[in-house]
Structure 1
Amino acid sequence: MSLADQVLAVNDDLPIRTDKPVHSGKVRSVYWLTEADSRRLIIEKGYDVPTDTPLAIMVISDRISAFDCIWTGEGGMRGVPGKGAALNAVSNHWFKLFKEQGLADSHILDIPHPFVWIVQKAQPVMIEAICRQYITGSMWRAYEKGERDFCGIELPVGLSRDSKLPELLQTPSTKGILKGIPDVPEADDVNITRKNIVDNFQAFNFKSVDDIALYEKLLTQGFDVISDALGKLDQIFVDTKFEFGYVKDKAGNDKLIYMDEVGTPDSSRIWDGEQYRAGKVVENSKEGFRQLLLSHFPDPDILLNKERMEEREALARDNELPANVLMQVSKTYTDIAEKITGEKIVLSDNPKAEIIKILKTQYQLVD
């Protein structure tokens, strides 16, 4: 069996019963279940949601995206072995910890397979909730150019690259293109201020202005829970992105929950503590892959400049990366997941066949 066979690259063609189009993102695909199947599963499995809640099957893939493009490798490798299972395992671990510590629920109701979540429909808050403990990445690039105002927060002078910030900062940006909000450009992923959110809370899908303080609290608490746990493993939680949404509880009331993924090597930067103390940044997250791409191609501006998207897409399409590069990324993902969860990430011989079998025999979702 080749490594390419163990990679789940295409995840939008599973024979799951659905009467809606499959939504396929960069990494995950979402299959909305029929009303009848949603209701049946809620009753059969005892999920703690109203019986008319729409459910979906969310299947992760091993695809790797960076700079808004999907990258592939030589020898037919359409993704990174172990990446999907590692990402889900890390998210599952943190979501469970959040619930145990009384923070908030997530959208996940069930985990039939390492690649699969059964989720309840959530109404997303249109904010990428970003928290930063160190100055690096886009914040450092802006700071180096002389910018001191970041998402309405005044940064002190004299900070050095990759240094710890005086306090944990929340630097939100837009999720998707939001139209008609004063002072907010109509573009995906643009930095916004707290004032932007408060003045236009409904446009960002908040049910009430009070929920802004709740999302900020859940963001900080979630960050601290992960940061403390990683600290015990001598890993530094540098920055991360959370997403929030609303679901109905059993009584039909709205509640704010964590959704998407949390604290993963895709959504966060994680540094090795020992190496950092020795003056070296070693990335245990996707940032290492991004840096590798920047040094791999002769003109890194193509990857950083949004005006050059066509060239960037051609670069990703026409350049298969060396297999050893993707295997190094695989090691980064599986190593950090095993460290966090304390459990081995096992590569499936045929993940697609396994998923279909489980969803057919245990959930009756495949005809």
Structure 2
Amino acid sequence: MGVGAGRFAERRLGGSGSGGAAGGGPGRERAPGRERAPARSPRWVRVLLAGLVTAAVVVPLTAAVRPGIPAPDPADLAPVTASTLEGAYAANRANAELAARTAAGHGDRHRAAADRALAVPSRRLLFFDGRGSGRVAEVFGDLAHTGRVAVLVPGSDTSLDTYERFHTAAAALHRGLTRQAPAGSGTAVVAWLGYTTPATVSTTAVTPGRADEAAPGLREFVRGLRGVTGPDARITLLCHSYGSVVCGRAADGLDVDDLVLLGSPGTGADSAADLRTRARVWAARGSDDWVAEVPHAAVALLGTTVGFGTDPVSPAFGARVFFAGDGGHSDYFRPGSACLANLVRIVLGETSEVTRA
């Protein structure tokens, strides 16, 4: 079933603002004799998380919320299919150009430049919404004629204003896929900025609210992709940082073949099996990624849950853990890196070639 390009990620998210069977796919067994973590975490974890919440509340007040940036409503398009893709791309580019002119008229040159970059003829936008922090889904490759699709879900501090770095990661993955794909086989990458991401230092970065809001839109977006690519295409979801929390919340019901967690603080699930997805679940963390220092616990605090539970690269979680090299939190798609090479293999289905950690 096709989904309107302007509604790929908006239908359940609201416009104003990274069905599975039970089991996490093949993975590592839970360590023998290892018990599930007790419901109540050690006192030091609760104190540390309480301090983080306090800091997260205080620090963002100095940056406050950026004044609203006016922008036109998203293009009102019919459901997107393989035959209507080019028309959808053109309509969304036109909307991005209009948003750029509106932002410029409002005196926001930075947003105007970001919108204008998305409006050039070479960009393929499945949807675009310039309102607020902005939302966009951009395609790299020929989505209508491919058997392998990778969807990137970003983490915190990703918006139209910072979109270029997300674009760079998706483009690097697509170049790697193009070089390594068998002759005659098509590949495509989609950069999905379909939700309002949290600020890195904020309560929203350590609580699941934004992920809960985003999950229905991600499920709908993947269903819409099936309406373009057909049921036989293999779809891999690559979820970075807080984006892995989004993917964890959406996993039960996502029609994807592989689910990859990169630099993840946790998914909110105790194990890969608890994600209730038919997809193979993978996880990786660079040796210089600061996320390793984040307490892997989930604690009821101040009326919400703080933290995201089991470390996805731990044996207890049960994912297929692969080698990510010595990179930091922003290096998973770095050209020439061990991690990018492994991501290419996973997307292409060359799973026996993936270097395990």
TM-score normalised by the chain length of structure 2: 0.27
Q: Which has the larger share of strand?
A: 1
TM-score normalised by the chain length of structure 1: 0.27
